[in-house]
Chain A
């Protein structure tokens, strides 16, 4: 289970999150929806403890344990994972080496073959990680890293953006696999394709707070009909 209580956070001295409350139970996939600049990536970064985001108030729980004050690596070792929207390119570090090191670190070396096959990464293993990768290749490789972390809670930042339809299907399968293993999964997405395939709850983030939560299909319908600005009426949980 991933839980956030009253989270306030700033980036470069400007408050972006104004008290976010959110809960994703184990084994469920929840969507985080919202317009550009709503604070979605900042929220995931704050939960992960990334250094460019300063958390000023609130608490983050992984299961029963609070992780708010832990460094990112320790959160990761306790089972929290963040799949970056745009992972950085690595010079000299092969994707195969990155995957091996992550697998060694999280005790999942035996999963390597299966993950590489699931995400169709064979042709990328000898290349420098994320360097010159296409949109789909980047997302699939980053998801592989996330799967090898065998997380208890995974946050995926736009895993379907810039991705061809075939890759979206692969990405969706990987997300379902995470949930089947019991992980709490929070997915930021802008596209309806992935949103419609992943049936679960959705949360609408607007101006740094969660304005509404409810069944994903229902929320998507309302967004299509009225736009993000009109979803903070009924239906919030």
Chain B
């Protein structure tokens, strides 16, 4: 009975618009039947995953194309370390932890997108579990790809890093060549147990006409750490995400967003950190640039619920033409004395003074612009594994090349 009431409430949320971002009419998109398949996805899809989001086909632990999850690929060598990577649908049957976390961090009736994922998503997505004390040196790679265009892709991902364990999960999101349009709704719930550390890199390579609505929530327990690196570097009709990170005593989170907006798209991104325990700290860094009539809204918020906490927001925006727009919305709020919260936000253009200086040192104007853009987009993130760092370097090069011509 309780379940029926809850389900009814979620059904009502199907018409509930999200707090931010343009509203997307869900009925425009086709609902596919979610399924878990045996075997590999098409070789051309794997090749595109490598080209667009830098994922080596042999190292991908989970691949979802449209509403089909390929589970043969999940029989990973990670199993040797006791690390579990499997479709969430299967994990929900077999694993009590997965059941405990599912829909506990992201409420299914939050908005129409979470409601649709809850009701129609079929719990496709990945489940990653890292046992206590295990340090996974290699990143755990997952890939989510739209398939034919025009469809809704739902994915529900849960990552559980147990006490004292460390892992880095990288998810590449993409659209196969020639596919235009579609809606991606991704629910992500991450649990970082006491003293554990989770790094998460999300690389978005979408296409014109695609709408993207990730809904992410993270719980970081005492002394845990969460590092997120979020890069969006392709055209998209709209993307809106506002991940929530709750931090217990002594926990730390750093959220870095790199956004290169183009082709008239709307990019509404950022996040919120809630400092719940004494000694908790959060840093949020955004570097956003907009061109070709695109709009970026960089929202970052830190709420301190208790004293002895620290938080800093840094948002820098670059407007590369007069048809585009960048809004920066930093919010810091404190409910307790003794919290130290700061923010810094600036929006500008590439400095003509910097360009003239570099030209006087032997760089052409184009080279000077590229050097400045590269510097602007480079954010120090010591927690990134070397493999991910080099992939991000490649992505930054790609963004700079596209922006400068």
Task: Convert B376-390 into 0s and 1s, putting 1 for each residue whose CB lies closer than 8 angstroms to a CB of A.
Answer: 111000000000000
Q: Is B375 an interface residue (CB 8 A)?
A: yes
Contact with B along A86-123 (1 / 0, CB 8 A): 01101111100100011001100000000000000000
Q: Point out the residues of chain B lying under 8 angstroms from A50, CB to CB.
A: 356, 360
Asked if A72 is an interface residue, CB under 8 A from chain B, the answer is: yes
User: In the complex, how many angstroms separate the beta carbon of B363 from the nearest chain A beta carbon?
Assistant: 6
- Residues in chain B near residue A87, CB distance under 8 A: 357
Chain A residues positioned under 8 Å from B19 (CB to CB)? none
A51 touches B356 (CB 8 A): yes
Do the beta carbons of B375 and A76 come within 8 Å of each other? no
CB-CB < 8 A to B359: which residues of A?
A: 71-73, 76
Q: How far is the CA of A92 from the CA of B256 in the complex (A)?
A: 14
- Interface size of B as a range: 20 to 34
CA distance A90 to B376 in the complex (A): 9
Contact B362 A73 (CB under 8 A): yes
CB-based contact A77/B375 at 8 Å: no
Contact check, A102 vs B354: say whether CB atoms are below 8 A apart: no
Chain B contacts for A81, CB-based, 8 A: 361
Query: B377 touching A92 by the CB < 8 A rule?
Result: yes
Interface centre among B351, B360, B365 (most CB of A within 10 A): B360
Q: Check: A145 CB closer than 8 A to any chain B CB.
A: yes
Cross-chain contact A88 with B357 (CB below 8 angstroms)? yes
State how many angstroms separate the Cβ of A82 from the closest Cβ of chain B: 5
Which residue of the partner chain, among A90, A92, A97, A102, contacts B362 with CB atoms under 8 Å?
Answer: A102
Q: A93 near B360 (CB under 8 angstroms)?
A: no
Given A73-B362, A102-B362, A105-B363, are A91 and B376 neighbors across the interface (CB < 8 Å)? Answer: yes
Q: A93-B371, A93-B372 are in contact. Are A88 and B362 (CB under 8 A)?
A: no
Q: Main SS of the interface on chain B?
A: helix
Known: A92-B377, A93-B371, A93-B375. A105 touches B360 (CB 8 A): no
Partner of A149, one of B361, B371, B377: B361
A residues less than 8 Å from B362 (CB atoms) = 73, 76-77, 102, 105-106, 149
B363 closest partner in A (C-beta): A73
Which A residues from 11 to 27 make CB contacts under 8 A with B?
A: none
Question: Within A29-84, which residues are at the interface with B (CB < 8 Å)?
Answer: 48, 50-52, 71-73, 76-77, 81-82, 84
**Shortest CB distance A129–B (Å):** 8
Give every chain B residue within 8 A of A93 (Cβ-Cβ).
371-372, 374-375
Q: Is B313 an interface residue (CB 8 A)?
A: no
- Asked whether, in the complex, the Cβ of A82 is within 8 Å of the Cβ of B360, the reply is yes
* Nearest CB of chain A from residue B374's CB, rounded to whole Å: 8
Is there contact, CB below 8 Å, between A91 and B375?
yes
Contact of B364 among A51, A73, A145 (CB under 8 A): A73
A101–B359 CA distance with the chains assembled, in angstroms: 12
In the assembled complex, the Cα of A145 lies from the Cα of B361 at a distance in Å of 8
Q: Give min CB distance, B19 to chain A, whole Å.
A: 31
Dominant secondary structure at the A interface: mixed
Contacts of B374 in A (CB 8 A): 93
Map CB proximity to B onto A110-150 as digits: 1 under 8 Å, 0 otherwise.
00000000000000000010000000000000000100010
The complex places the Cα of A116 from the Cα of B177 at a distance, in Å, of: 48
B394 → chain A, closest Cβ, in Å?
17
| Interfacial chain A residues near B378, Cβ < 8 Å | 92
Among A52, A72, A73, A88, the residue within 8 A (CB) of B354 is A88
User: B351 — which chain A residues lie within 8 A by C-beta?
Assistant: 88
Least CB distance from B25 to A in Å reads: 39
Chain A residue contacts of B377, Cβ below 8 A: 92
Q: Which B residue's beta carbon lies closest to that of A101?
A: B371
* Chain A positions within 8 Å of B96 at CB level: none
Distance of A45 from chain B, by nearest CB (Å): 9
Task: Assess whether B360 is in contact with A48, with CB atoms less than 8 Å apart.
Answer: yes
Which of A48, A87, A93 has the most chain B CB within a 10 Å cutoff?
A93
Bound Cα distance A91, B344 (Å): 13
Q: Does B316 contact A (CB under 8 A)?
A: yes
Contact with A along B24-57 (1 / 0, CB 8 A): 0000000000000000000000000000000000
Q: Cβ of B94: which chain A residues have Cβ within 8 Å of it?
A: none
Complex Cα gap A149–B361 (Å): 7
A203: min CB distance to chain B, Å: 22
Q: Which residue of A lies closest to B362 (CB)?
A: A76
| Contact indicator A90/B361 (Cβ below 8 Å) | no
Taking the complex as formed, is B353 at the interface, i.e. its CB lies under 8 A from any CB of chain A? yes
Bound Cα distance A51, B375 (Å):
23
**Contact of B376 with A92 in the complex, beta carbons under 8 Å:** yes
Bound form: Cα–Cα A84–B353 in Å: 11
Q: Which of A48, A71, A88, A97 contacts B375 (CB 8 A)?
A: A97
Q: How far is the CA of A36 from the CA of B398 in the complex (A)?
A: 47
Q: Closest approach, in angstroms, between the C-beta of A43 and any C-beta of chain B?
A: 15
- Cα of A128 to Cα of B379 in the assembled complex, Å: 12
- 5 A-B pairs with the lowest CB-CB distances in the bound complex, closest first: A93-B375, A92-B375, A76-B362, A88-B353, A92-B376
Residue pairs across A and B with Cβ atoms less than 8 A apart, 17 shown, are: A71-B359, A72-B359, A73-B359, A73-B360, A73-B361, A73-B362, A73-B364, A73-B365, A76-B359, A81-B361, A90-B375, A91-B316, A91-B375, A92-B378, A97-B375, A105-B362, A105-B363
- Which residues of chain B have a CB within 8 Å of any CB of chain A? 287, 316, 351, 353-354, 356-357, 359-365, 371-372, 374-378
Given contacts A91-B375, A149-B362, 5 further A-B contacts (CB under 8 A): A73-B365, A88-B353, A92-B378, A93-B372, A105-B361
